[in-house]
Amino acid sequence: MAAPGPSAPVGPFPPGVETEEQRSDYDKRRRRVLWTLPYGLYLVGSTDHGVKRNLMTLNWATQVSFEPKLLGIGVQKDALTHELITEGRVFSLCTVDREDRAIVRKFTKPVDVDLEARTLNGFAFTDGPSGAPVLDASPAWVDCEVREAVDCGGHTFFIGEVVDAGFRPGTAEDTPVLRMEDTRMSYGG
Ligand SMILES: Cc1cc2nc3c(=O)[nH]c(=O)nc-3n(C[C@H](O)[C@H](O)[C@H](O)COP(=O)(O)O)c2cc1C
């Protein structure tokens, strides 16, 4: 399972890559190289601070500073999550238990929210301190307030300051968490 990328080869192209065929070959090679970069796999929680909530599968996440504690995520501009983070200025980043790998397939389009049952697509959630939802089944989570939104073309890199973080009660802190390589999925490239 791979999320769709651009349909035509994207420049710039190195010297000597000139014909349509060379550009297409280069485009494919570059994608295969980029796919070898190791990633984690997460669920990002977002909210408008009203009735809207969402959880989205995401692998483009990294800590970007010690002091202050900043974390960045790359979010597609056409995703509901993008709209909610832009509006709500908060997000959560939830890890996924390696035993629960099927969960990430359930969060690749906007979720069904049941505020009474407190579920998203049938999975129990809790609002984190910022208001962004956190999946109850996640071994660990961080809660962030957006400090910067960097325009990166098709995506926005949201940089958030970690305002709270925790482990699921009763969960071993060294519970193995899901990484891209544990799945047959890819994104980006
Ligand atoms: C394995 C995998 C990794 C993904 N990583 C990202 C990512 O890093 N950033 C992103 O914007 N979308 C990513 N997606 C795509 C979103 O999960 C997907 O586009 C989703 O439809 C957008 O969610 P939303 O509209 O519910 O907010 C990934 C999808 C998969 C299957």
Question: How many angstroms separate the Cα of 99 from the Cα of each of 152, 183, 189?
Answer: 33, 11, 26
With cut-offs at 50, 70 and 90, classify the pLDDT of residue 129.
very high
Check residue 2 and give its pLDDT: 54
Question: For a pocket test of ligand 1, which of 37, 46, 47, 56 has the largest count of ligand atoms closer than 8 A to its C-beta?
Answer: 56
Ligand 1 centroid–CA 18 distance in Å is: 33
Q: What does the chain come to in residues? A: 189
Percent of the chain scoring above 90 in pLDDT: 96
Span 128-134, average pLDDT: 97
pLDDT interval class at 3 (50, 70, 90): low
Instruction: Kindly report, residue by residue over 95-117, the tens digit of the pLDDT.
Output: 999 999 999 999 999 999 999 99
Distance CA 55, CA 183 (A): 19
C-alpha span between 29 and 81 (Å, rounded) = 30
How sure is the predictor about 158, in pLDDT bands with cuts at 50, 70 and 90? Answer: very high
42 CA from centroid of ligand 1 (Å): 10
**Does 169 have pLDDT greater than 70?**
yes
CA-closest candidate to residue 92, choices 65, 127, 66: 127
Residue ranges lining ligand 1, Cβ < 6 Å: 1, 3, 54, 56-60, 74-76, 79-81, 108-110, 155, 185, 187
The residue nearest atom 22 of ligand 1, judged by CA position, is 79
Predicted pLDDT of residue 133 = 98
Residue nearest to atom 28 of ligand 1 (CA): 58
Taking the C-alpha atoms of residue 141 and residue 125, their distance in angstroms, rounded to an integer, is: 12
Among the atoms of ligand 1, which is closest to the Cα of residue 59? Answer: 8
pLDDT in tens, 14-55: 999 999 999 999 999 999 999 999 999 999 999 999 999 999
pLDDT at 6 exceeding the cut of 90: no
